[in-house]
Structure 1
Amino acid sequence: MIEKLKSSYYKKATFKKILTQSPKNDGVINIHRYDVSNVGDLYCAPHQYFEELKGKYSDIFLYKRTDKSDRNKLINDMTNNSLIIGGGGLLNRGSFTNQMKFYEKLAQNGKKTVLWGVGHNEKKASLYGKISSYDVNIENFGMAGTRDYSMPGEWLPCVSCLHELFDKSYSSTQEIGVVFHKKTIQQPHITSKFKDFPSTSNTIDLEALIQFIGNSEYIITDSYHAMYWSMLLGKKVAVIPNSSKFYDFKYNPVFTDFDNAIKQVKKASIKDGLLEECRELNRNFAKRAFSYLEI
């Protein structure tokens, strides 16, 4: 309880201090969820793929760190730089709502802002496939590309498609591979259902995960990025959704549950040309974004 109170205090104090500063756009910083325990969060940000952004990133959660130097870093980064926000499921998610509304306010106060490949991430199952608006007005940002095909803004799939690992050739050595979310891997009553199949999780390093996917003919997963990367590699994918984010990709996988996934995955199909489609969209967006940000 004490830690939660501290976190709430630090959050409010950090936001307040940033708002008291005169906004500058001297450089650029890429704000996203920099989580080394979730390979999707780690590699869904453009600073990983463009020389203009190399080393220019900050974790979206620094605002509530108990270490004052972490909070001061975020204050300096956000006061002095234009902002690239994303990627990842930062919209319609309670844990990110305050941050996103704060970035929206900064944008309205003169801060140059770019939403890059962000998407909705509503956890209420009753709203899956029914999201029609975001918890911020993306028109208030300087530029907005979202990974949700049917939503406002231009469609901009996750920038991780630019990773060089997708240029390699992979041979299928296993029929069905299972990729668990980092929370699911801790639930034996679920993982035991797939004990007869090769499996891994989104906690391993990117190269190992892409190799695992590449070696599989079919993929079963409850990880958004495992779904996306599997589709980029031309795999047949069945998804067990745990958020609204799975329902708004341009091309649908097979939706199922843990009990029926093994049978349902055989109904999945492949979307040819997806890798190049996603790459072209991100490269074109980058040209416009870098012009807008003057970098």
Structure 2
Amino acid sequence: MSLNLINSLKRKWNRYDVTRKILNGNYFNESVVNIHRIDTKNIGDYYCAPHHYFERLRGKYLDIFDYKNENEKIRSNYIEDVCNKSIIVGGGGLLNRGGFEMQMKLFEKISEKGKKIVLWGVGHNEKSKENYGKVSKYNIDINKFGLVGTRDYSMPGEFVPCVSCLHPIFDQKFDTKKEVGIVFHKDTLKKENITKKYQNFATSSNTSNLEDLIEFIGESENIITDSYHTMYWAMLMEKKVITIPNSSKFFDFKYQPIISNFDDALNHLNKGETFSGLLEECREINMNFSEKVFNYLNL
């Protein structure tokens, strides 16, 4: 049996073992923990969580993948926090995605048992192209949660765009220095047929640090990207955005950029719409939602 197969089986066992222990546990709502995907190599995943922006949540977070971590101490801490604390789930594309389904179904079940759980800025993330622009329901029942804010404008739940809009970095002003900037998703960096197509253009990726990426966006008149958060941040910064979707998540924001593909994207330069006041709108929505969250969780 190969080492990769052994490790895969171990992770699978860890997932089911942690889930079983939580389902059989006793539940309390003491303090709070913010659970999301903590991926330092994907800055959108990293910065889409409320704990970055509210002092009451500072330092109170878990990676949603801790339930399958090979380190027993990390898994035990995950069990303890989920059982004992109120939970804020999000943000990010955690819905309608196989890799997060077990966790989200678990949260749904324990919410029915008295656990206080808030969904904040989560959204659907289906990979099947046949469902792009056609998602009409989530893979969980959001009515079973205490408070729900989703980043998908047409879907059930209160519309709450990604909380990363609260980052003070968006208060900076930049001088436009280039007509177009290309921002690749980290997975696209591995596709030489795409990266070579744009080798003569200024490029960045969602693996960059936030400061460098925001400066890159700020200095560009047009942004071409297949990164959801780059799309969102560029729209907040009133840039003309051409997006290349890699999941359903690109099709359900309140305001729509141009949808294209890597072969045709350059033909859409300077044709996109800019959205004045979007940053202020998204910040106001999140601040209003935060009051509801903190009241509900007694924080």
Verify same fold: TM over 0.5. Answer: yes
How far has the Cα of 1:111 moved from its partner? 0.3
The CA distance in 1 between the partners of 2:264 and 2:219, in whole Å, is 22
Task: Output the amino acid matched with 2:138.
Answer: Y
1:151 matched to which residue of 2? 155
The CA distance in 2 between the partners of 1:13 and 1:88, in whole Å, is 25
2:287 matched to which residue of 1? 283
Task: Output the amino acid matched with 2:286.
Answer: N
Post-superposition CA distance 1:67-114 (Å, at most 9, x none): 101101101111110000000000000101111010000100100000
How far has the Cα of 1:265 moved from its partner? 3.1
C-alpha contact 1:116 1:146 (8 A) present in aligned 2: yes
The CA distance in 2 between the partners of 1:64 and 1:248, in whole Å, is 30
C-alpha contact 2:175 2:219 (8 A) present in aligned 1: yes
The CA distance in 2 between the partners of 1:20 and 1:99, in whole Å, is 15
The CA distance in 1 between the partners of 2:255 and 2:293, in whole Å, is 25
1:38 matched to which residue of 2? 42
How far has the Cα of 1:233 moved from its partner? 0.3
The unaligned stretches of length 5 or more in structure 1 are none
2:122 matched to which residue of 1? 118
How far has the Cα of 1:266 moved from its partner? 2.4
Asked if residue 253 in structure 1 is aligned to residue 254 in structure 2, the reply is: no
The CA distance in 2 between the partners of 1:18 and 1:102, in whole Å, is 8
Post-superposition CA distance 1:121-169 (Å, at most 9, x none): 0000010000000000101000000000000001000000000000011
The CA distance in 2 between the partners of 1:165 and 1:265, in whole Å, is 26
C-alpha contact 1:254 1:265 (8 A) present in aligned 2: no
How far has the Cα of 1:185 moved from its partner? 1.0
Match runs of 1:1-295 below 5 Å = 1-295=5-299
Q: Show structure 1 runs of 4+ deviating over 3 A.
A: none
Post-superposition CA distance 1:11-57 (Å, at most 9, x none): 11101111222100011000000010100000000000000000000
The CA distance in 2 between the partners of 1:234 and 1:196, in whole Å, is 25
The CA distance in 2 between the partners of 1:191 and 1:269, in whole Å, is 26
The CA distance in 1 between the partners of 2:33 and 2:19, in whole Å, is 17
3-state DSSP of counterpart to 1:204 = coil
Task: Output the amino acid matched with 1:106.
Answer: I
Equivalences, count: 295
C-alpha contact 1:218 1:236 (8 A) present in aligned 2: yes
The CA distance in 1 between the partners of 2:17 and 2:203, in whole Å, is 44
3-state DSSP of counterpart to 2:251 = helix
The CA distance in 1 between the partners of 2:290 and 2:296, in whole Å, is 10
3-state DSSP of counterpart to 2:39 = coil
The CA distance in 1 between the partners of 2:280 and 2:165, in whole Å, is 9
Q: What fraction of aligned residue pairs are identical, expressed as a percent? A: 55
The CA distance in 1 between the partners of 2:105 and 2:267, in whole Å, is 42
How far has the Cα of 1:186 moved from its partner? 1.4
The CA distance in 1 between the partners of 2:251 and 2:25, in whole Å, is 40
3-state DSSP of counterpart to 2:173 = coil
C-alpha contact 1:25 1:82 (8 A) present in aligned 2: yes
- Deviates further, 41-50 or 256-265: 256-265
Task: Output the amino acid matched with 2:190.
Answer: Q
The unaligned stretches of length 5 or more in structure 2 are none
C-alpha contact 2:23 2:106 (8 A) present in aligned 1: no
